[in-house]
Structure 1
Amino acid sequence: MNENVTRRDFITGLCSKNSFKKVLMAWQGFNQEIKKPKVSSCDEAAILLGKKLERAKSQKT
C-alpha cells in the first residue's frame, strides 16, 4: 500500500470500487482468525480493517 494514501482514501476506494462482499472478503483474508465478521455495513468493515492495518503497521516498526 502506498504510504501517501491515507487509510480513509484506501477504505473509501475499497468500498466504492468493489462490492461490499468483496470488501468483506478482503477483510476476512486480512483477518484470518475471524471466520465470519459480524459487520452490517461497509463503514464497520472499514473501521475494523483500518484498526487491523494500524496494528500491523505498528508491529513492523
Structure 2
Amino acid sequence: MSNNKYILFCIFVGLGAFLIISPMFIPNLKSEMPLVYSFIKFFVLPSYIVALVGSYFVFCKNNI
C-alpha cells in the first residue's frame, strides 16, 4: 500500500471516530436524551467498527 493511501486511510478513520464518539462525551446526553445515547452506543458505533474492518480489507488487502 502506498504511503499516501495509508495516510488518507488514517485521516478518515480518525475523523470518523471523532465524529461518532464525540457526542458520547456530552455530559448530559445520557440523562437528557437516552434514546439518542443508546442509538449511538448500540447501533452507530458497532456499525462504524464493522465498516472500519471492511474498509481495512478493501484498502490494505487489495494492494498486496
The TM tier, using the shorter chain, reads 0.3 to 0.5
**Of the two, which has the highest radius of gyration?**
2
Q: TM-score, normalised by structure 2?
A: 0.36
Which structure is higher in helix share?
Answer: 2
Q: Which has the higher contact order (CA 8 A, sep 6+)?
A: 2
